[in-house]
A and B are shown apart, each in its own frame.
Chain A
Amino acid sequence: MTSSDPSVQLDHTPGHIKHDGHNLTGFVIFLCSESIIFLAFFAGFSLFKLTSPEWLPAGVDGLEVRMPLINTIVLVSSSFVAYFAERYLHKGNLWGFRIVWFITMLMGAYFVYGQYVEWSNLKFGLDSGVFGGTFYLLTGFHGLHVITGIGLMGLMLFHSFRPGNYEKGDMGVTSVSLFWHFVDVIWIILFFLIYVWQRY
């Protein structure tokens, strides 16, 4: 095989950037590691829920589910929207990507707003026993991830206006949308633990 063979040259087209693959590998490793923190918090929450003698603080008889449910639906569907944005990018439709990507960001922002409304209507605080502590720790830590995700998506949107940015690969977008799916899956587990489990 000589170097003029087209199949050899394929590896050296501008789309092939050596370090992109590393970024995605590193990011996946990071996500696996990050999920352990959530796992630790989930384990703590479950243990407290099962063993704590006084679970709900005085004057609180549970959490309202309607608002978080709407929030869940918005966040879960935003994951699909992010997937479509990615598809547009792969097809080379840059404006399609930008618009749909921005819709994903808006849905994320709505989730954060919903979380804010829920927090401001609650009758217990961080120091209201182990229930208050775990509730705010879990939702707050997850909320931080949502805000980080929105920030990262904004960064990717900004990058898309740089001429020729995505011609050499779109690992940044792939990583961020992976992060978004991760945040989404964490929320689903969290929703079942905090809101659904309280009924049983």
Chain B
Amino acid sequence: MTSTNFDPRILKAPHPVPGAPDNWKRFFSINTDAKVIGIQYIATSLLFLLVGGLLAMIVRGELITPEADLVDPTVYNGLYTMHGTVMLFLFLFPVLNGLNNLLIPTMIGAPDMAFPKLNAAAFWLVPVFAVLLMASFFVPGGPAQAGWWSYPPVSIQNPLGHFFNGQMLWLLAVALSGISSIFGAINFVTTIIRMRAPGMGFFKMPLYCWTAWGAQTIQLIGLPALTGGAIMLLFDLSFGTSFFKPEGGGDPVLYQHFFWFYSHPAVYVMVLPVFGIFSEVFTCYSRKPLFGYKFVALASFGIVFLSLIVWVHHMFYTGTPNWMRILFMFTTMTIAVPTGVKVFAWVATLWRGKLRLTTPMLFCLGGLVNFIFAGITGVMLGTVPIDIHVGNTYFVVAHFHYVIFNAIVLGVFAAVYHWFPKFTGHMYYEGLGKLHFALTFIGCTLNWLPLHWAGLLGMPRRVASYDPEFAIWNVIASVGAFLLGVAAIPFILNMVSSWARGPKAPPNPWGAIGLEWLLPSPPPAENFEDDVPTVLNNPYGYGLDQPQVADEAFYVRRAQEA
């Protein structure tokens, strides 16, 4: 046996791999394969990125002149409320769950998620609450108008008296979104804890899995608090309780605690996976091991812990006692430490690396620069005096869009490009990708950088009209917003045409290290099936003589032959 050239395992693995599905209809069916669900999530969420972007462009169209002239001010309230809600609950959470579905099982060598049916249920809740949320445009009184945070007493007004009003549908949609996210979180955490390949200890896991694990832990701890608050708000709105009504002995500030106990950590739910994407992409395209792997991994859970004890910094100006302000200012400052550890690790990874400026690398570099800027304004906002001065101005809006769009969404785009060949089996067009990056980076900088000035000068957020002295900043911002709309065109063109007729992708087009790159592109339904590789090292051994798995040559050959 030992003298023959045939590896018996090659003969055992049937070719073509069974269930390596080649039919597009499965993406439109109820399917339990994590890779199908992942692509369903990502496609659905990108559709809602367009919806949310359209709402944003109407808002920016309104703000291009100081007068409230394009839309009615109450319509404007509904527009920004729905923009925020759609972008968070229908774009960012689903797109990250989609990436989790694609990446977690393939990166840890699992055949699927731990609970495939629960996974499908979590995805199919998304269209359900999407319909609920979109339906609120058509009920009497229009959609919810209380902003994405829905503070009472604004959110418990029901002037028309209809039971099915926009706010009520909003609350139902948020509750369903919460259930979907909890289903997802249970699944992702269980999969990471219990289904890793042999030999893959926690400190040999890819960083994307570390950060996704941290992010989903936050979902499990924080989301129930928001759900509890939302249930109470729904009772106040529809069933006559007075949890948040001072006239019945209630307390409106309690809702703010419930809301921010989840919604501040929610930012880390979104940004942590992007930290993971940065770690994967920077190492791959600079051909260097990740600097301080263990510290970067542990910093993820440092962020998880700290993110749960900072929420009151959103409430410095809503009747918070001074001792609480000082305490939460302190905890907010300390969160810069684990985040700083990560940023230094990435910079040290890039330092003297052999950089390849592909589209995902460009998006990550742009995202990192923007994230550092957003971190600086974040520390500014965490200090009580500055926060009270600029609270509820465009400075806050500019800060969180720098985090959420300029860093997180750029990272998400990087991930979509980086893993596109792996999961579709086709290469994307590099030229269109770079055009998409250039338009996005210029657009997002024009859009949100000037608004920092407008905010520092005192331009209030959530108002359709403003003082003419802020006009110049708003004109620049609106131009940037429309440029972001234009940037969608090369992206859509690239995705659709590459998938339909792009060149066929090899198993490992980037020369990257990681279990997912040892699979054929696209991977078969059960990933490694019975031949799960034994992991020896973490997947960042670029330039080191340090194979990630035992018998790597066998898996490389198998992927190429599939």
- In the complex, the answer to whether B190 meets A126 with C-beta atoms within 8 Å is no
- In the complex, the answer to whether B249 meets A37 with C-beta atoms within 8 Å is no
B177-192 interface (Cβ within 8 A of A): 182, 185-187, 189-190
- In the complex, the answer to whether B223 meets A33 with C-beta atoms within 8 Å is yes
A127-152 interface (Cβ within 8 A of B): 127, 129-134, 137
CB within 8 A of A133: which of B118, B235, B258?
B235
Tell me if B's interface is mostly helix, strand, loop or mixed: helix
Distance from A171 Cβ to chain B, minimum over Cβ atoms (Å): 13
Distance from B184 Cβ to chain A, minimum over Cβ atoms (Å): 12
A31-69 interface (Cβ within 8 A of B): 32-37, 39-41, 44, 47-48, 51-55
Q: List the B side residues contacting A129 at CB < 8 Å.
A: 242, 248-249
Q: List the A side residues contacting B242 at CB < 8 Å.
A: 127, 129-130, 133
Q: List the B side residues contacting A21 at CB < 8 Å.
A: 194
B108-151 interface (Cβ within 8 A of A): 114-115, 118
- In the complex, the answer to whether A137 meets B241 with C-beta atoms within 8 Å is yes
CB within 8 A of B251: which of A26, A35, A51, A132?
A51
- In the complex, the answer to whether B228 meets A48 with C-beta atoms within 8 Å is no
- In the complex, the answer to whether A54 meets B223 with C-beta atoms within 8 Å is no
Known contacts A22-B115, A26-B115; decide if A47 and B251 are in contact (CB<8 Å). yes
CB within 8 A of B249: which of A26, A32, A44, A48?
A48
Interface residues contributed by chain A, number (CB under 8 Å): 34
Does any Cβ of B come within 8 Å of A25's Cβ? yes
Instruction: Give the distance in Å from the alpha carbon of A44 to the alpha carbon of B248 in the complex.
Output: 14
Does any Cβ of A come within 8 Å of B16's Cβ? no
Q: List the B side residues contacting A127 at CB < 8 Å.
A: 239-242
Does any Cβ of B come within 8 Å of A30's Cβ? yes
Instruction: Give the distance in Å from the alpha carbon of A21 to the alpha carbon of B254 in the complex.
Output: 39
Tell me if A's interface is mostly helix, strand, loop or mixed: helix
Q: List the A side residues contacting B118 at CB < 8 Å.
A: 26
Contact bitstring B238-255, A, C-beta under 8 A = 1, else 0: 011111000011110010
Instruction: Give the distance in Å from the alpha carbon of A53 to the alpha carbon of B242 in the complex.
Output: 13
- In the complex, the answer to whether B186 meets A126 with C-beta atoms within 8 Å is no
Q: List the A side residues contacting B229 at CB < 8 Å.
A: 40
- In the complex, the answer to whether A25 meets B258 with C-beta atoms within 8 Å is no
Instruction: Give the distance in Å from the alpha carbon of A121 to the alpha carbon of B193 in the complex.
Output: 49
Q: List the A side residues contacting B185 at CB < 8 Å.
A: 29, 33
Instruction: Give the distance in Å from the alpha carbon of A34 to the alpha carbon of B249 in the complex.
Output: 27
Known contacts A37-B225, A37-B228, A40-B224; decide if A52 and B114 are in contact (CB<8 Å). no
Q: List the A side residues contacting B186 at CB < 8 Å.
A: 26, 29-30, 33
Does any Cβ of A come within 8 Å of B221's Cβ? yes
List, sorted by A's number, 28 A–B pairs whose CB atoms are closer than 8 Å: A22-B190, A22-B194, A23-B115, A25-B190, A26-B187, A29-B185, A33-B185, A33-B220, A33-B223, A34-B224, A35-B224, A36-B220, A36-B222, A36-B224, A36-B228, A37-B227, A39-B225, A44-B254, A47-B254, A48-B251, A55-B249, A126-B239, A126-B240, A127-B242, A129-B249, A133-B242, A133-B248, A137-B241
Q: A47-B251, A130-B241 are in contact. List 4 more A-B contacts (CB 8 A).
A: A22-B115, A126-B240, A127-B239, A133-B232
The 5 A-B pairs with the shortest beta carbon distances in the complex, nearest first, are A40-B228, A133-B241, A36-B224, A127-B240, A130-B249
